[in-house]
Chains A and B, each alone.
Chain A
Amino acid sequence: SQQGEEDPQALSIQEGENATMNCSYKTSINNLQWYRQNSGRGLVHLILIRSNEREKHSGRLRVTLDTSKKSSSLLITASRAADTASYFCATDAREYGNKLVFGAGTILRVKS
């Protein structure tokens, strides 16, 4: 199975609610990154968290990293319809030659 796996596969919430997406991985990592992809577009980098960091914030985004559990979560607070997109985690690990390995993504739908 893939290095990074997100859950849930799909998430539907009302505007204003918080959205939480999770990512699990298998090997030791250098860093973990979250990306967003709008339909028909390329991926946009959201946030990078290094292996020695536990939490990072960027605007309405909060990312946590638990290296003991090999997991990360992305929290989007006060969601907006414009947050509707697919969200991917990607791990940078020495075992994979420092290439990013992407999970299959979480499809987020924010209803207005």
Chain B
Amino acid sequence: GAGVSQSPSNKVTEKGKDVELRCDPISGHTALYWYRQSLGQGLEFLIYFQGNSAPDKSGLPSDRFSAERTGGSVSTLTIQRTQQEDSAVYLCASSLDGLGPQHFGDGTRLSIL
């Protein structure tokens, strides 16, 4: 597709379970970002991948959060042992070179029961 694609669009899971969220960026975009957005709030930066460089993980809130980007394309964000405070919308974005506009997916709405 032409845009950033995220799956699943909604995820409901029980506290303590692990979840994996997927992001397919725009083809050819070297930069990929993950953000978290709580209800009615702005975006909280989580992690940033740029080409083959080591990712910037400075926004990950705890060691339960990790992310990978395979082959410079698809990325997965994994949350282990989920907690209720992890409930939020997780947004992925990509940009051509990390310097200009970011293109967002529609997010994954994660609900932890």
What total of chain B residues lie within 8 Å of the partner, measured CB to CB?
22
* CB pair B42 A44 closer than 8 Å: no
User: Closest approach, in angstroms, between the C-beta of A69 and any C-beta of chain B?
Assistant: 21
CB of A84 within 8 A of chain B? no
Q: What's the count of A-B pairs with C-beta under 8 Å?
A: 50
User: Closest approach, in angstroms, between the C-beta of A25 and any C-beta of chain B?
Assistant: 13
The residue on B at minimum CB distance from A38 is B106
Binary interface profile of A, 34-70, with partner B (CB < 8 Å = 1, else 0)?
0100001111110010000000000000000000000
The residue on B at minimum CB distance from A2 is B42
CB of B15 within 8 A of chain A? no
Other-chain residue from B41, B42, B101, B104 in contact with A48 (beta carbon distance below 8 A) = B101
Interface, chain B (partner A; CB < 8 A)? 4, 33, 35, 41-43, 45, 48, 56, 58, 91, 93, 98-107
